[in-house]
Structure 1
Amino acid sequence: MQYTQDALARAKNVKMLILDVDGVLTDGSIAVGDNGELFKTFNVRDGLGITLAQKLGIKTAIITGRESKMLAYRARELKINAFYQNKKNKVPAYRELLAEYQLKDEDVAYIGDDLFDLAVMKRVGFPATVADATEEAKSVSILISDFAGGKGAVRQIIEFILKAQEKWQAVIDSYLNIEDETDAKEVEKNISQ
């Protein structure tokens, strides 16, 4: 992934990561069952990246234009700090997050991929996108993942932020030292320290 020194400098300031869903956490596909239920597929590497970011002090939020019980379940499972559904205009939710968490624009990273994301992406300090995003989303992004939405892009961007903040090597070292189940539980517990 190519990046500039400006992207590296801005990543150091990130205190909150806001995510879009369709096309970012998923590949943008929606499967519809016989009874009208919707199905989406999420990438486990993205999930681990979100969990690591949280354990290392980065707050997380989701602002999505659609509503989904499955997404609500996934957000709870990942312990997302703030969750907004059915928000075609994402700016009011973004402003709420800034106020609630006492953040400035430069403290926030946003990963989006399409037109609904542009208004927030142009405000945050660290706008990022996925490889298969619209040209408009790419044009306002400071970092573009090598991966498509739902295919590990979120994880790659989170790793970039954690590396810029000099937190990634401690994560790697913790996982390299796992010998047994007790060690694995200890790594999960201590990763936030």
Structure 2
Amino acid sequence: MQKKTIGFIPLRKNSKGIPGKNKKKLLGRPLFSWVLSEAIFSNLDEVYVFTDDEEIIAYIDKNYGWTHKVKPLLRSAENASDTASTESAMLEFSELINHDYDVFCLLQATSPLTQRTDINKGLELVLNGNYDSALSVVRTHRFIWSEDGKSLNYDYTNRPRRQDFDGLLMENGAVYTSGKKELLESGNRLSGKIGLVEMSEDTLVEIDSETDWQVIEQLLISSFKTKKTPQRISHLILDVDGVFTDGRVTYGNTGELSKTFDMRDGMGLEILRQHNVNVMVMTSEDSETVAQRMKKLQIEDVFLGVKDKYSFLENILQERQLTAQEIAYIGDDVNDMANMLRVGWSFCPSNATKPIKYQADVVLNNASANGAIREACEFIMNYNLRFNDL
């Protein structure tokens, strides 16, 4: 019989170091959504977000309907206080779901560099029966000293070179995995025979301060950019407001009245499709005006009301068996940033926001609703020529 595995992400509404930390935008996404996305696409059967913040619960209910895995659950005020331990929250949660699991995986939102492969490795160690629990660690080559002036992990009279030094394994607070029996009997995230999952040294940083936040942000950006490799573009994904339109909306007493689109952009997309590039639209707005315009342009893949665009993109990649490197993306504001970093090529109009201009692969010469999309289409068609003979 297959064992049931669950992920558990504990979140508190109040944070001392960084107010509202879990909802604060990291590269345009709420902090907690980074580890949540990786959990969704890991081998976990279910992922619970356990929080006393009803805004987060509402956000999850509204934006993750495309997956059956994610389940938000209300956390008691008692176990969300400054003095409450993570273990007390784990045990409260376990009772609430009637201990309906075989393997429990604690995931920390303050470790947004966690990857699905790290989660899977922890699960494997416990599921194969060799370990009762497991934790994630990083290997540091720092030399450690005690307060009384004693070297703890090396002989200072014979200082080793870095390449000859095995270093020291340190807990990074990202992933903890345990069997149900071991968790309930010990009341602790770790017990019995403990296995180790070694993660990259970058993941030693946890977000506890504004400085940590800035460091993590740069690490994420660097990680995305180093993974970009040349590949033929097979799909173009576009935001709407500030990309198709100039970002302005006309409102009346009955709501949205109109948006301005550029006819040349529509022709550019039609020609691009003739060159075997599939066109998709992904926007956080749920606009009937947009729906009608995309119908007119005969764009079939139109996704409206998408708040977590990064997770939605990951789902598209998985369902359609695409690689991120064959995707091009046009965005204009911070809620597009994670996707623009993730894909093979990213574009932004000349009137995009400054943070997006800093990260885009190509800042287009034309503004939104004034030929920007048409310019990007021409770039893609010319770029794809180099792959014709491959």
User: Which TM class, normalised by the smaller chain length?
Assistant: 0.7 to 0.9
Counterpart position of 1:108? 327
In 2: Cα distance, 1:146 partner to 1:118 partner: 19
Three-state SS of the structure 1 residue aligned to 2:302 is strand
Q: Which has the higher helix share?
A: 1
Change (3 A) 1:134 1:123: same
Larger Rg computed on CA atoms = 2
**Once superposed, which parts of structure 1, at least 4 consecutive aligned residues long, lie more than 4 Å away?**
9-12
In 2: Cα distance, 1:56 partner to 1:101 partner: 19
Counterpart position of 1:185? none
1:147 to 366, 371, 379: 366
Counterpart position of 1:32? 251
What runs of 5+ residues in structure 2 fail to find an aligned partner? 1-227
Change (3 A) 1:128 1:49: same
1:114-173 C-alpha deviation (Å, 9 max, x unpaired): 011001111000011110111111111111111111111010011011122239xxxxxx
Three-state SS of the structure 1 residue aligned to 2:255 is coil
Higher relative contact order (CA 8 A, sep 6+): 1
Q: CA RMSD in A?
A: 1.8
**Identity, % of aligned pairs?**
35
In 1: Cα distance, 2:374 partner to 2:320 partner: 23
Instruction: Quote the offset at 1:96 in angstroms.
Output: 2.4
| C-alpha contact 1:11 1:161 (8 A) present in aligned 2 | no
Q: Does residue 13 of structure 1 match 2:232? A: yes
The amino acid of 1:78's aligned partner reads L
2:272 to 46, 53, 57: 53
| C-alpha contact 1:11 1:164 (8 A) present in aligned 2 | no
| C-alpha contact 1:84 1:93 (8 A) present in aligned 2 | no
Instruction: Quote the offset at 1:35 in angstroms.
Output: 2.1
Instruction: Quote the offset at 1:11 in angstroms.
Output: 7.5
Instruction: Quote the offset at 1:63 in angstroms.
Output: 0.8
In 1: Cα distance, 2:294 partner to 2:324 partner: 23
In 2: Cα distance, 1:50 partner to 1:10 partner: 24
Change (3 A) 1:27 1:11: farther
In 2: Cα distance, 1:94 partner to 1:122 partner: 12
Change (3 A) 1:152 1:11: farther
| C-alpha contact 2:329 2:339 (8 A) present in aligned 1 | yes
1:75 to 294, 316, 319: 294
Change (3 A) 1:95 1:12: closer
TM-score normalized by structure 1? 0.77
Three-state SS of the structure 1 residue aligned to 2:307 is coil
In 2: Cα distance, 1:113 partner to 1:11 partner: 23
Instruction: Quote the offset at 1:83 in angstroms.
Output: 1.1
TM-score normalized by structure 2? 0.39
Counterpart position of 1:86? 305
1:78-116 C-alpha deviation (Å, 9 max, x unpaired): 122311111121112212221233210100000001011
| C-alpha contact 1:105 1:123 (8 A) present in aligned 2 | yes
In 2: Cα distance, 1:166 partner to 1:61 partner: 21
| C-alpha contact 1:111 1:129 (8 A) present in aligned 2 | yes
Three-state SS of the structure 1 residue aligned to 2:285 is coil
Instruction: Quote the offset at 1:38 in angstroms.
Output: 3.0
Aligned length in residues:
159
Three-state SS of the structure 2 residue aligned to 1:102 is coil
My pick for the range that moved more, 77-86 or 121-130, is 77-86
Instruction: Quote the offset at 1:12 in angstroms.
Output: 5.8
Three-state SS of the structure 2 residue aligned to 1:61 is strand
Q: Does residue 64 of structure 1 match 2:283? A: yes
Q: Which has the higher strand share?
A: 2
In 1: Cα distance, 2:310 partner to 2:298 partner: 22
Three-state SS of the structure 2 residue aligned to 1:166 is helix
